[in-house]
Every structure is written in C-alpha cells, then in structure tokens.
Structure 1
Amino acid sequence: MKTHLLWLSASAWALGWCSMAGAQTTSSAQATTPAPAPATSSTPSSSNGGTSVKEVVVTAERRTTNLQQTPIAATVLTQDDLFKRGVFTVDQLQFVSPSLTVNNFGQGNDIDIRGIGKGEHNTQTATGVVTYRDGVASFPGYFQDEPYYDISSIEVLRGPQGTFSGQNATGGAVIVNTQDPMINGGNSGYLLAHYGNYNDTQLQGAVNIPINDTLAARFAFNTQYRDTFYHINGLTGDPNTMWGSGRFSLLWRPTEALKVLFKVDYSYLDNGGYFGDALVAPTGGANPTNNLFRFNNNYETYAVDQFARADLKIDYVLPDGITLRSVTGYQQGRTGWKGDIDGTDAPSPNNFIIAESVDERLWSQEFNIISPDKGPVTWILGAYYSSNDYLYPEGKGGKFDVGVPPGEVDEDLQGLNRTNTEAVFGQLSFNLPAGFQLQAGLRYSSWSTTDVNVLFFVPEFGLNFLDNNFEDGSNVTGKVTLNWNIDPNNFAYVFVATGAKPGGLNEPLYFGGGGIPAPFKQERVTDYEIGWKSKLLNGHLRTQLGAYYNNFEDFQVILPIPNNPLQSTEVNNPSGTKLYGLEASAQAVFGDFKGSFGMGLEHTALGTFYAEDPRLPESGTCDPRNGPANGVCLNLSGHPQTYAPDVTFNVSGQYDFHLGNGDLITPNVNFSYVSSQWGTLFDNASQGDFLASRKILGASLAWTHGSFVTTLYGYNLTDDQYVSALLSPIRLAGAPRQFGISVLKTF
C-alpha cells in the first residue's frame, strides 16, 4: 500500500508541491500485456450453435441474474472476452468499458468511474471504486496490478453501489470472479504461453482435478518476465518485471443443500523500477510527450509486492429455499518501494527520493440470508465487518523515509493506522402487474480510522510528532428502483441511488505551526439514472442504453491550508460537482462475425470552490467557500472533475474463416479511445495537468487447430504515447507498442 502519505506532505509543501514529497506509489505503466489469445471459436457462443449473443450474468446483487434484466449499468467480460481483447491487468479495463479511467501507479491503482473514485493517492483517502475478488472486498486501492488469470468473469459496475458493495463504491465497483473447481468437470484446463518484444515471456495455466463425487480441486498459475520499457541514464537497480502468482481452490459439495468453496492465492510481483520524468521541462512549461521512456535518474529503484489471500464461502439452502451464506476473507501483503520522485538527475537541494516498506492486513466477514429467486416478493439481508491495518515498521535508517533532499530533510514514519467498517444491509423486490417491479435497498455503515503510536519525525531538525488520532462516522446509502419488463425482448428501469466514502485523518504540521488539522469529511453522491436494454434481430443484437445525473458532494482533495498556504491538508470541495452523461453499448453475433461496442459521453462542472495552486506563489488567506478571488486565490467554479474524460469509446470485431480441415482463421481488431482529461482541479496545462487523449489499436490473427490456438498479436499498434498517471512533480507513461506470438492449449 503504497502510501504516498498525505501525512508526509506538509513539510514538502514548504519546499515544493506536496505531492512531490508524499510517499506515493509510483509506477511507470509497468502494466504487462500478455499475448491476447482469441476466443476458442470452435466453442459455440450459446446453445443455438453460436448464432446469437450469449446470455451474460452478473453477481452484483448477491444473486446470479441476467444482465439484460438487471437495473445496473455494467460491462461484463468473460474469459473469452479477456483473451480476445487483450485484458490481463486492471489498467486495461479502461479500454473496454465506458466511463472508466485507471491511473496506474503499479503498486497502487486509482480507479475512477464517471469521474468519481479516488482523487488522492494515499492510505487515508479511501477508494471510491471497490474491487471484489470471489466475493471478498480486496485491498482498497493497492495490490490490484496482479494479472488476471483463470478468470470466470469480470464485472465493471458503473454508478454508486451503496446497497451491496458498500460505502467505498461511490463511483462503482469491479467484481472479479475466478474459475471454481468442477466436481464433474474431469481433468480439464488450459495452458497459455507467449513471447513478445521486450523479451516478454509468459506462461499461465490451470487444471481442474476431480477428487470424488463430492470434492474437486483446481490449481492455476501465472509467471512472466519482461525487460523494462525505459532507457534511463543514472542509477536504476534492476528495472525489469518478474511476476509469479498461484491459486489453489477446493470445492466440497456433500449434498445439494451445502456448498463449501475455499480459495487461497499468493503473488510475488517484482515490478523493477517505477520510472517517471518531470511534468515541467527545465526551460518551463509542460514536458512534451513525444518520448516518455527516456530520461535521467539519480536514485536506485526497487518495487516489490508480496501478498496472500484466502477466502471461504459457505452456502446452505434450507428446505424452504432460503440460502444462508457466509463469506470470510483474510488478506496480508507487504510492499516495498524506493525511487527518484523528482523525475530528474538534479543534485541537492532539488533531489527528492522515497524509500518505504509497508505491511497491510485485511480481515472481513459477511453474512447473507437470501430468499428464493421466485415469488411475488424476494429479499436479501446482510451484515458486514472488516478491519484493515497499515503497519509502518521501525528500522535502521527508517523503513519509511522521504528525502527532500535525503540527508538534509528526511521525513520518516512508523506506527500503525487501523480502519474498521461495520454495516447491515437489505433489499426488497416486489413484483407488480403488467411486468413492473419495485426494488428498495438500504445499507447502514459505520467506520473509524485510528492512528496508534504513529510517529512522524525529521531527524535533521530533531522534530518528532506522535500522532494518536481518531475519527469515525456513519452513513446511510441505498437504491430505489422501478423496473419494467416490457416484453421478453425489452427491459427498462429508472432509479435513485446513493453512495458514500469515509473521511480520514490529516497529518501533523511540521513547519509554520504545530497541531493537527481537522479530519476531512465523507464524500457523498446521489445518482439519478434511467436505462433501456433490448434484444433485437432474433437475438443477434443486444443493446444497453442509459443516462445519469450525479450530484457529487465533498470531493476529497489536498490543498494549502486557507490561512497558511505553505502547509497542506486534505479538505472537501464545499460546493459539490454536477456530473451527467449518456452511455451505450451493444454486442452482436451474425454467423461467423462477432462484435461489441461501448461509448460514454459525460460533462462535469465544479460548483464555487476557491483554492490556491500549490505550485505557484502563495500568499494570504484563501477560504474554499468565500475566497476572495484574486490572482492567487482561484475560483474553480465550472472546472471539470479530475480524471473525467468527456468521451470514452471502444469497438471490437472478429470473423471466423472456416478452412476445409475444420481449422479456423480468426482476425480480430479492437480500438479504444479515451478523450483528454485533467489531473488536478486547476487545469493548468503549463504545469502538466493536461492528460492528452489515449487511442489504443490492437489486432490479432489466430489459427485454431483442434485444441490449439496460435495467435499473432499486437497491442497499441500505433505506439500512442500517453501519460497514464500524474504524481506531481512526475508523470508515468502508459504501455508502449507490444507484439508477439502466443499458443493456447485447452484440454
């Protein structure tokens, strides 16, 4: 949990912009792109021989429901889809789902949907797009860059998921379901190998092992090595990527009523060095983006994540059809990172470095009582608890050190930060005449965050600040929906949904005054949405169309303290943001042709919000609500929300050419577009805030011969160079052009 702690930002603001000194998780788009194997075209898409679009299901509401009859805006990707569209890591989801952006810091990923998610990269700013893996909420914003392997489905849910996903889903949720063992599935599985440029070498696979009539196991693994994308002058350490992951699953089903599923996985992700160059050129103005992979560096880099997860899911169906469910999760991880965080080889006093080690432990428990799927009234009740600890260990020279510059001003951190969440929730569904259905869901959550013997110290000045701080709060979120099954081919819905994200603690002030600023408040969003889903042309075409209007309150952002601009603190936007847009998607199958399409159009605008740009000269008081407006205290009213592109678009198509011996040749082309966006609320292009559009073209040519699929693939074929994340004063690049060959063997 690359902490990039807000806590350490205060003294750095006195020397530059606070993000310069925060211990942020930086990654250079070390996002790996394994060879996209195509869908195994010899496998029918549905029971009718593959001539219509396959039914897709979602698990977002604790039941398995048909996406076309569920009131939710979602993109659902099967293993087939992941292979043929080249989606193997979380940051690649932004190229297949509307209204989604991922800022890839490698050991930390900030996901935003419709401009809502996580705007500041630190442990105290909670995630606004929660990730669930096999029913368990995962580390909040960290350890998400592991590869997707042996996946059943990935669901990208857009809009607040306040009833089921909870208070960390103001923007939405990502639900990752891995493959379960199959008791009657035989000794089946797959093996995928690829080799590409940058010596990109990968081997992954899975095998299903039936043990007896009631017990089955499954083992899956992924390994990968890749040379770095970068050409660095200066110190680097070992810059190459080396990943290894494994998962073991066990399914026991002694009776039809009882199902016990256990999964445990481990990952060792050596990301080499996270490299980023300076946002601002030495001569002034934003650095050009014509070559993001060549720059200077004067500090050794190191970036390793190690983590393990275990989850136990128990379902028991009572004689009357009611399901009792328990989902228990335990996750433990360790991250280590060191790097140059000024993006140059500048000598002291302009040399800024970071070296950190952080442990995280997350335990969670959820209970559900689920009514049968049929009947005039259906319902779900649930309870949830989680405890998440961030441990900053002691050590010689400091295990967590930010040097601004090293040896002259070193900000060190040790201690424990603990966050707890408790919640109860439920949903009722009433079937009404004429195909109507009324649904109402509600969730009550309480949260707390505590610093336990957290010590901030600056050894050169003999400054020590013991921070035993505490903040808690509660919120009520939910959703009220009116559904209409117009006919078997058309489904419409309208709903109001709410979401909330916890507040957090600010750090002690090192210079220019003591004390601890007040905690920052929760974020809240209210979403008004209408949608229509249809099945057309005898099932050959399925469409989803929706419109939304969001009122987003108390956006959490790091800014100078109103009456002390040389110090920073995290505050809330006092006036809120209006976000509204239109989303459309479609999937088509016409004979041997298969295609998909997705688009998101969005407009965002801040309300009245005064703030000082910390990279520019500061002076005087600048109150967030009242100003006064001047050349330093800026009124940000009308500015767009951060990481909220106006347009997102993706399209994919493939065609099966049948050869005389039963083989297939399948070309596939996919294109995605993410329009320009802003990395801060100040929209200051000269300081590097502007993120240009991303245009990613991919293609593959697959030969299917029996159980083998051999594929020539290419990703980012036009070599579009784009900035994937801002971590002021540096920027991190998206993955460049990659190409190679893969071989998939199924058995």
Structure 2
Amino acid sequence: MKTHALLLAGVALGTCIAMPAFAQAAPDADTDTGLQDIVVTAQRQSQSLQRVPIAVTAVTAGDLASRQITNTLNLESAVPNLTLTQNGVSVTPFLRGVGSNQSNPNDEASVATYIDGVYIPSVTGNIFKFNNVERIEVLKGPQGTLFGRNATGGVIQIVTRDPDIDAPLLDVSIGAGKYGTIEANGYASTGLGEKAAIDLAVSFDRNDGYGKDINRNADIFKHNQLGLRSKLLFKPGENTEIRLTADYSRLNSTGTDYQLRQGVIGADGVTSYPGKRRTNTDWKNTGDNDIYGASLRIDQDMGFARLASITGYRHVKGDFHLDQDATPTPIVQADINQFAESYSQELQLLAPTDSKIDWLVGGYYFHAKYAYTPLRLGGLAAAPLPAIDLFGDQKTKSLSIYGQATVPVTATTKITGGLRYTYEKQDTDGRTESGGVVFPHAPNALCPGATTDCPQSQDIKKLTWRVSIDQELGDGVLGYLSYNRGIKSGGFNMINAGTPGYKPEILDAYEAGLKMQLFDRRVRLNAAAFIYDYQDIQVFNITGGGAVLTTNAAAARVHGFDADIAIKATSNLTLSGGFGWLDGKYTDFPNATYTPPSPLMGPQVPIDATGNRMIYAPKYSGNVTVDYRMPTSVGEFGVNVSAAVRSRVFVTAANRLAIPGYTVVNSTLSWTSQDQRFGAQFWVRNLFDKDYYLNRTEQALGDIQFLAPPRTIGVTLSFKSR
C-alpha cells in the first residue's frame, strides 16, 4: 500500500507543481462563453463535478442526442476505459478492466447500474433506450462505501428529468432510417395544481434487420422495443419532496445472431464461416424480455439533517433461444428462460446544507430471487432424450450499514473517510429433469442426504471503505489522493447444482486525480492515474453442451490513466474528448481454461495464464467530438462529428481470441428554429461503415461472433411546446 500511495502521490505532485502558474495565465473573457457547470450525485447528493474527488465522466442529455448515444451499448463511445459487451439482450460492462463476463441471472455486474438511485441488479435488465434522461454519470473505481453493492469496477448512474410543476411541456420526435429503422420518443409533463406534477415518457424503436440466415432464409439482427416511464413529483411542504416512479419495457428481437468465426470448422465437422452478417443455423434465435419496476423516493429536510428514503422494486423475465453450435445440425439448441426479481430499501441521513462537516450515514436492505425456469437443452446434446431441463434458483438477502464524512482540515484541504459493513445470505437449489422425471444425483458432501435437488447456502460478511484527501491547488484546480476497497458479491452456479459456490471478489484501488477548470471556464480537464490490486476474481467458462461454471480463480494488477477534456474554443465551437490507457495483467492464474478454436482440434485443457492480459481491458481507448453551432435568422444550424477508438481486447484469459481494435465515427447535421420549438436532425451512425465486433466467444463447440450494425442513415424530426 505504501508503494502505491507514494507512486500516485508523486504523479499528482509532479503535475500539480506547475498548475497554479498555468491557471494564473488564463486570459480575461466573458464568462457567458464558458462551459456550463455539470452537477452530479457521485456522493449521493448534488455537487459540482469539479468539486467531487472521484473520477467521473458525465454525459448530458444534449451530448446523448448530438452524438447518437441512443442506448446502453453506445455509452462506451463517450467514456474512456469503458467496454460494454452484448450477450443476447444482456449488457456486461467492464470499467478500467474490471467486470464480469457472466450472464446468469444471479451474476450481478461488477459495474453497478442505478436509475434515479435504484439499483438494477440483473444484467438482463440493463439494456434499454435512453429517453427523458437528464444526464448519465459514470463513476470509476470501486464505490465500496456509498454504493456498496457489487460496485467493484464503478457505477453507471442514470438520472431522469423531473416533471415541471410550473408549466406543461410536450417534447416529441420521430425518426426513420435505413434497414427499416423507426425511432420515436415522446415526453409530456404537466402540473397538478401548485404542489404536484406528473410526466410520461415513451420510447419506441425497431428495425427490420441487416443480415440473413442462409440455412433458414430468415432475416436476422431484428428488434422491436417499447419503453414507458412515468414520474409523479409531489411537494406537500417547503421541506418535503416525494417522487413516485413506474416503468415498463418490452423487447422482442432475434437475440444474439452468432456465426462461426473465420477459419473455424463447426461441431458438425462441415460448417464454416458463412460470410459477413450471415448465420447458418437450424434453430431460430430469439431474445425477448419484459421488465417493469417502481420506486418511491422521499426527501425531507428536518433542519438538523436531511432524510432520504429510496424504495425500489425490479422484475425481469427473459426468454432466449440460441443455436449455440451455430450450424445447420441440431447439436445444441438452448431455450433459456430467466427470471429476476428484487426489492430494495435504503435510508440515508445527510448533513444539513450549511454544515461545515459533510456527513452521511445510511442503511441498505436488498432481497432478490433469481431463477432458470428452466434452461432447456435440445438437439444431439440431449440425446437420446428429447430435451433436458436444468432448473436452478438463488435467493439473496443482504443488509449493509454505511457512513462517510468529509472534514475540512484547512480552508483548502479536506479529508474524507467512509466505511460500509455488509452481511449477506445466499440460498440455492437446483435439479435436472426430462419430461417431468427428475434425475437422481450421486451423493454430494455439499448437500448431504439429498438425492435429486441439491440445496446449499453461504454467508458473506465484508467490510469496505474509502479514504481520500483533496486539496485546492489554485483557482479552479483540485487535486486528490484516494484509497478504496470494494467487493463484488459471491454466488452459486445455478444450472450446475451440487457445485461449490464462489466467494466475493475484492478490489483495492489507489488513485491520484486532478480536476481543472481554466481560462474563465473555457477549458475543463479532469484526469486520474490509478493502481488496482484485484483478488479472488470470478472466472466464467463455457464448456461443451452449454454447461457454465464460475469459480474464484485469479488475481490481477491494473495500472492505468484516464482523462476527459472539454474546450469552449469559441461561443459556437466546442471540442471535447477522453483518453484511457490500461495495463491489466493476471498476477496469479494457474488454472485458466484453453479452448481450441474448433471442437475438431481437441478438448478444453487447463493452462497457466499468469502474466496474460486481463479480458476486456483495452490497452487504449478514447473519443473526440467536434460540435459547431451557427445561429442564423432562420434558426440555429449544428454540425457534430464524434469518433471513438479502442484497441483490441482478449475475450478469455488464455489470450487466444481477441476482438480487434476499431474506430467508429458518428455524425449529425441539425437545425433548430429560433423559438426552439421545431427541429430536424440528419444522422449517420458508423459513418465509414466499419466492420467491428460486439461480441466474440470461445466455447467448446467452436468460436462464435457477431458484428455491430453497418452504416445507418436516418432523419429525425422534433417538436417541443416550449
């Protein structure tokens, strides 16, 4: 720890020595031409981005629209060191190399997603369109105190807008594009008297597909999605705010249309790569889910403190059909039915706004049930039976208490300390059957006396923390050092009943950062260097016949750097970008799995992956955006060009199969009327029609993959009532 702290302190000090002189060189300027201040809730209350001693990338609603960041998957183009992988209708985020490639319903993400303060536990429930969003905050590094639950890699916070009590609002848009793309968004808000308001947000998008299954002569890469969200805001008194929110979304799609990778012969011994955006299967892939939830937030200013109560409920049901072998021969036909339901209750007591010491204490209760209902395997993998049904469930109950305080030591120096204690109990059970007949299993020490099912349980008790010091180094310049510990909870292999559970991951993070706002707010530069010690990493393997197994099998070390910059070059021209660099390697991984590219090349075998690069940890990633606005007598015209680049990433610790690096460019041309009521936008996604992969997977049946969408062109028209 001492070595890490000294190294990061040296980086920060060496950079900081020159900063006061640089800040003093700022020329005089009209402050109206500066960048707008961004308010974030990284510490569970509203603060300026530049005052928070945490590495945060914030993306505003305007940025989302102009850069064509329309859904969860697009977010990685705006956040350095963020990688998002798609598996069916699940999105698994990796931040600074920390993440999980698991896709079971009980495998909560290492990078936790929150919407308006409510935790979204299931990776199946975190792929959605962005609508009525005020901003998205990506907190980097373990957030083991204030967010606690499974925030080893970081937190993605989605903040939606509140309805307006004072005046009604209607904001609608409809767009159409290539491949039968239709996108429609609507937002309506109105006051209900002087103390309440309600809104409704609707989003819809679909496309007719941009690929073909050559065996079934069917269109693929199709989807149809509908989302509804409503919020009621009630202010019964000057010091009380109540927000009741409900949402529903439905997705029907062809799921993950996998193909065999180039040069790979499939498990049937015949089938090979079918061509770009083509598949060759016997089984219709689908990816459908239904998600709904509700939340209640109550904020009460009691004078001596502020009280916040956040109650949340989430329900996810997923139905996926997958031809896992990706050949015309019925070898493995997987019908995957997943279920996740969770309830959470959080209470916070915060310091009054005029307190010199900024403190917060809280408690969090989480109750969830996850299940396969069931996962059915058909085809030759089930022979001589028509199908094999794998049932499994896990129940989780978690209770944590936490507190954090920031104490001013001098007029320019603050120290922050926080602790969180978590107790968790997990129970699981599972069975295998066919045609309603339950299969017996051999005697198992993990569930003594059981013959068909195999019930197990485990308890988890962990203490996590945060310690930081931040120093004002000049006007608009803040430096900080921090040490954080976070955990990702353990769990069970639900469709492998009778196998041991896996324990939590532990991550210790050492970080030094600078936040600078210079030249009369014309330049904003936020940067951080970090070192991670990563222990008991949960590793996920896919074996033949669709079996999956998670174990604690590795340790790793990550060194890295990331930065965000925004420049208001003129009143009409804004330049922004981000850059990330990672050096993440396994320091101890003696029993990794090597999977040959084709099942004809032999079985999976254990290897020593110590020294190999971590999965989904690009050596570099970055983005740059040029945004120009030109006011005229007939309205404002705008041009936005954004590019995202990232280097290759390995998909397993064996470092055999990689997703190649790529650069993708999006662009928009827009017009807004002088009264800002009418608008039109011409957009191009993947401007140069680059072929890049959203997913590649090693499995015993042969390497499989699928490409991102090709160049898509469209037009969106919009209307706003005020």
Output the amino acid matched with 2:174: A
Taking a change above 3 Å as real, the CA distance of residues 461 and 400 of structure 1, as seen in their structure-2 partners, is: closer
Cα offset for 1:408?
A: 3.7
SS in 1 for 2:453: strand
Tell me the equivalent position of 1:745: 719
Q: Does 1:583 align with 2:562?
A: yes
Cα offset for 1:459?
A: 6.2
Please say if residues 397 and 425 of structure 2, whose CA atoms lie closer than 8 Å, have aligned partners that are also in contact.
Answer: yes
Please say if residues 390 and 495 of structure 2, whose CA atoms lie closer than 8 Å, have aligned partners that are also in contact.
Answer: no
Cα offset for 1:635?
A: 2.2
Distance 1:330 1:403 in 2: 38
Cα deviation, 1:169-190, whole Å, max 9, x if unaligned, reads: 1000100111111212x11131
Match of 2:481 among 490, 494, 512: 494
Cα deviation, 1:311-346, whole Å, max 9, x if unaligned, reads: 0000111133x111110011112111112111222x
Tell me the equivalent position of 1:23: none
SS in 2 for 1:648: strand
Equivalences for residues 177-256 of structure 1 within 5 A: 177-184=159-166, 186-235=167-216, 239=220, 240-256=222-238
Distance 1:548 1:265 in 2: 37
Cα deviation, 1:530-588, whole Å, max 9, x if unaligned, reads: 01111111111111011000001111113599xxxx997422234x1110111111112
Tell me the equivalent position of 1:315: 299
Match of 2:289 among 305, 310, 331: 305
Cα offset for 1:733?
A: 2.2
Match of 1:534 among 486, 506, 516: 516
Cα offset for 1:422?
A: 1.1
Output the amino acid matched with 1:705: S
Q: Does 1:361 align with 2:348?
A: no
SS in 1 for 2:98: coil
Q: Does 1:68 align with 2:50?
A: yes
SS in 1 for 2:44: coil
Cα RMSD, aligned residues only: 2.8
Q: Does 1:438 align with 2:418?
A: no
Cα deviation, 1:198-226, whole Å, max 9, x if unaligned, reads: 11011111011111110111111011221
Distance 1:531 1:273 in 2: 40
Cα offset for 1:743?
A: 1.2
Cα offset for 1:149?
A: 0.5
Equivalences for residues 23-38 of structure 1 within 5 A: none
Taking a change above 3 Å as real, the CA distance of residues 236 and 425 of structure 1, as seen in their structure-2 partners, is: farther
Taking a change above 3 Å as real, the CA distance of residues 450 and 238 of structure 1, as seen in their structure-2 partners, is: farther
Tell me the equivalent position of 2:318: 335
Higher relative contact order (CA 8 A, sep 6+): 1
Taking a change above 3 Å as real, the CA distance of residues 431 and 87 of structure 1, as seen in their structure-2 partners, is: same
Distance 1:333 1:237 in 2: 28
Match of 1:665 among 630, 637, 640: 637
Please say if residues 242 and 269 of structure 1, whose CA atoms lie closer than 8 Å, have aligned partners that are also in contact.
Answer: yes
Distance 2:503 2:347 in 1: 29
Q: Does 1:416 align with 2:397?
A: no
Taking a change above 3 Å as real, the CA distance of residues 456 and 701 of structure 1, as seen in their structure-2 partners, is: same
Output the amino acid matched with 1:740: G
Cα offset for 1:416?
A: 3.2
Output the amino acid matched with 2:228: G
Match of 1:718 among 680, 688, 710: 688
Give TM-score scaled by structure 1 length: 0.84
Output the amino acid matched with 1:298: D
Tell me the equivalent position of 2:11: none
Tell me the equivalent position of 1:695: 663
Distance 1:392 1:121 in 2: 12
Tell me the equivalent position of 1:58: 40
Output the amino acid matched with 1:495: S
SS in 1 for 2:580: strand
Taking a change above 3 Å as real, the CA distance of residues 392 and 295 of structure 1, as seen in their structure-2 partners, is: closer
Equivalences for residues 44-443 of structure 1 within 5 A: 51-184=33-166, 186-235=167-216, 239=220, 240-279=222-261, 281-283=263-265, 291-320=275-304, 322-345=305-328, 347-348=329-330, 351-393=331-373, 400-401=376-377, 403=379, 405-408=381-384, 410-443=387-420
SS in 1 for 2:613: coil
Residue range with higher mean Cα deviation, 330-339 or 639-648: 330-339
Cα offset for 1:742?
A: 0.8
Equivalences for residues 485-634 of structure 1 within 5 A: 485-506=472-493, 516-558=498-540, 569-574=549-554, 576-589=555-568, 590-611=570-591, 613-616=593-596, 633-634=606-607
SS in 2 for 1:640: coil
Output the amino acid matched with 2:372: Y
Q: How many aligned positions are there?
A: 665
Equivalences for residues 454-473 of structure 1 within 5 A: 454-457=430-433, 463-464=439-440, 465-473=452-460
Taking a change above 3 Å as real, the CA distance of residues 404 and 133 of structure 1, as seen in their structure-2 partners, is: farther
Cα deviation, 1:361-387, whole Å, max 9, x if unaligned, reads: 111100000011333312100100111
Output the amino acid matched with 2:708: G
Please say if residues 291 and 721 of structure 1, whose CA atoms lie closer than 8 Å, have aligned partners that are also in contact.
Answer: no
Output the amino acid matched with 1:700: T
Give TM-score scaled by structure 2 length: 0.87
Please say if residues 290 and 721 of structure 1, whose CA atoms lie closer than 8 Å, have aligned partners that are also in contact.
Answer: no
Residue range with higher mean Cα deviation, 76-85 or 722-731: 722-731
Structure 1: gaps spanning 5 or more residues: 1-46, 510-514, 618-630
Tell me the equivalent position of 1:638: 611
Distance 2:119 2:388 in 1: 32
Residue range with higher mean Cα deviation, 49-58 or 73-82: 49-58
Please say if residues 360 and 390 of structure 1, whose CA atoms lie closer than 8 Å, have aligned partners that are also in contact.
Answer: yes
Please say if residues 211 and 219 of structure 2, whose CA atoms lie closer than 8 Å, have aligned partners that are also in contact.
Answer: no
Cα deviation, 1:499-548, whole Å, max 9, x if unaligned, reads: 10111223686xxxxx8332222101000000111111111111101100
Please say if residues 594 and 605 of structure 2, whose CA atoms lie closer than 8 Å, have aligned partners that are also in contact.
Answer: no
Identical-pair percentage: 24
